[in-house]
């Protein structure tokens, strides 16, 4: 006899003393919408992460913070030696004072010549010369003022401040080291705003772009709330995948960039029959459930199963909508003689 047939006979014999007294629970088989999902590996990253570089030349005078230190926005994180920048600023300020004095003289001379020119006491050429000298003096003041502004800006570059609050992740220079414009100084990131990035196979891209729904789960089983989702509208030329990016609500400071998470993305919907997973009796290749007939008697019914989700099981064949399925078959067969809950944790598709 086939093992499945022997198994059916064992169950029927076991039921004979139990039917008269057991009161099994049941659920009516319903056709509901099944949302198929795929589960992908995602990576947490910081929304704000950057490297601060030098904007002027100088020698590193002080580094108040090190890796893993917290800083606030606007706090001094690098101080460069600034004697050269201060000297240039003093020179520029002296040049501005000189230009402003020359402008005062040129304006006074022009005013005098203009007054007598109206009475015809000076030539047109002398009047034009005074006017040109005044314009040149004004231009020299503007250039000197710009030089002062530039010198002040260069001096401000010797004080490097944090662009936002966060933690330092890498220090690229040491005290006493000479740096040039564009040279990296410190790297950091903010833990206030985090996001998850995941690469999606191209066959699911269109639906994911339309639905824009996903669930993020940590290794310990916690589900994270996601906010704004961004779909990159182009495929990676090497992997041919599309990138999804989701904002996270940071829970209790326990998340850090680089951590792996599981991302569940809905990729299809279809109608399906569902029963509680607890109703399944599973032995080797056999999957079966108990169905109550019109006389409320349990009848063993072999089924073909599909997807499993949140404690429920899809039935591909063997049941019809509206039938009553026993949800606690151990009440009927006895947990010692038959354990109906041999769960593999995987979808069953014999």
Strands, E assignment, 151-303: 159-161, 166-171, 178-179, 184-189, 194-201, 215-217, 223-224, 226-235, 241-248, 260-276, 281-283, 286-292, 298-302
Same domain, 204 and 262: yes
Residues 145 and 94 in one domain: yes
Q: What is the CATH number of the domain that holds 324?
A: 2.40.420.20
Residue 294 half-sphere exposure toward CB, CA atoms < 13 A: 0
Describe the strand order of the beta sheet including 76-80 as a list of residue ranges. 159-161, 76-80, 58-62, 178-179
Segments forming the whole domain that contains residue 64: 55-81+158-189
- Same domain? 131 vs 174: no
The pLDDT, as a whole number, for residue 125 is 86
Q: Are residues 288 and 303 in the same domain?
A: yes
Furthest-apart CA pair in the chain: how many Å? Answer: 137
Contacts of 182 (CB under 8 A, 6+ apart): 53, 54
- Indicate if 252 and 322 belong to the same structural domain: no
Q: Tell me whether residue 9 is in a domain.
A: no
Residue range 32-77, pLDDT digits in tens: 877 777 888 999 999 999 999 999 999 999 999 999 999 999 999 9
Q: Is the pLDDT of residue 5 over 70?
A: no
- The reply to whether 3 falls in a domain is no
Residue 145 lies in a domain: yes
CATH number reported for the structural domain that contains residue 227 in this entry: 2.40.30.170
Q: What is the pLDDT of residue 340?
A: 41
Q: Output the six-digit token pair for 316.
A: 């591909």
Tens of pLDDT along 83-112? 999 999 999 999 999 999 999 999 999 888
Same-domain check for residues 196 and 264: yes
Does 245 lie in the same domain as 175?
Answer: no
Domain co-membership, 164 together with 288: no
For residue 299, give the nearest of 10, 15, 2, 7 by alpha carbon: 15
Same domain assignment for residues 77 and 164? yes
Same domain? 227 vs 259? yes
- 76-80 and 58-62 strand pairing: antiparallel
* Same domain assignment for residues 215 and 236: yes
- pLDDT averaged over the chain? 81
Q: Which CATH number characterizes residue 180's domain?
A: 2.40.50.100
Strand order in the sheet with 49-53: 49-53, 184-189, 166-171, 70-71
Is a pLDDT exceeding 70 seen at residue 339? no
For the chain, what is the domain count?
4
Q: Is residue 289 part of a domain?
A: yes
Q: How confident is the model at residue 333 (pLDDT cuts 50, 70, 90)?
A: low
Q: Examine residue 349 and state whether it is found in any structural domain, yes or no.
A: no
CATH of the domain at 148: 1.10.287
Instruction: Tell me the pTM.
Output: 0.60
Of 248, 269, 290, the residue at which a domain comes to its end is 269
One domain, residues 205 and 141 = no
**Domain presence at residue 7:** no
In this structure, is residue 348 part of a structural domain?
Answer: no
What pLDDT was estimated at residue 208?
A: 73
Q: Answer yes or no: is 4 within a domain.
A: no
Domain's final residue, options 269, 300, 323: 269
The yes-or-no verdict on residue 18 having pLDDT over 80 is no
Q: Alpha-carbon distance 195 to 255, whole Å?
A: 10
Share of the chain above pLDDT 70, in %: 85
């Amino acid at each position: 006899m086939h093992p499945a047939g022997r198994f059916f006979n064992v169950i029927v014999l076991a039921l004979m003393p139990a039917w008269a007294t057991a009161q099994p629970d049941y659920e009516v088989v319903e056709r509901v919408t099944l949302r198929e999902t795929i589960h992908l590996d995602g990576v947490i990253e910081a929304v704000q992460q950057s490297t601060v570089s030098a904007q002027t030349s100088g020698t590193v005078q002080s580094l108040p913070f090190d890796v893993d230190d917290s800083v606030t926005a606007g706090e001094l994180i690098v101080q460069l030696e600034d004697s050269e920048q201060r000297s240039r600023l003093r020179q520029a300020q002296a040049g501005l004072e000189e230009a402003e004095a020359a402008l005062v003289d040129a304006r006074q001379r022009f005013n005098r010549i203009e007054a007598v020119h109206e009475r015809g006491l000076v030539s047109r050429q002398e009047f034009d010369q005074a006017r040109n000298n005044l314009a040149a003096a004004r231009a020299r003041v503007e250039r000197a003022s710009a030089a002062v502004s530039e010198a002040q800006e260069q001096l401000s570059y010797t004080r490097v401040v944090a662009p936002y609050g966060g933690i330092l992740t890498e220090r690229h220079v040491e005290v006493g080291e000479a740096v040039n414009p564009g040279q990296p100084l410190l790297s950091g990131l903010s833990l206030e705003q985090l996001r998850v990035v995941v690469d999606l196979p191209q066959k699911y891209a269109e639906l994911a772009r339309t639905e824009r729904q996903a669930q993020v789960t940590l290794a310990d089983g916690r589900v994270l709330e996601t906010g704004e989702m961004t779909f990159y509208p182009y495929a990676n030329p090497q992997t041919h995948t599309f990138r999804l990016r989701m904002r996270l609500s940071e829970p209790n400071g326990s998340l850090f960039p680089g951590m792996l998470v599981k991302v569940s993305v809905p990729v299809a919907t279809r109608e399906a029959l569902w029963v509680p997973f607890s109703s399944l009796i599973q032995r080797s290749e056999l999957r079966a459930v108990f169905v109550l007939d019109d006389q409320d008697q349990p009848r063993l019914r072999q089924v073909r199963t599909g997807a499993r989700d949140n404690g429920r099981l899809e039935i591909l064949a063997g049941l019809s909508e509206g039938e009553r399925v026993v949800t606690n078959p151990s009440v009927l067969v006895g947990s010692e003689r038959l354990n109906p809950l041999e769960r593999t944790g995987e979808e069953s598709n014999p």
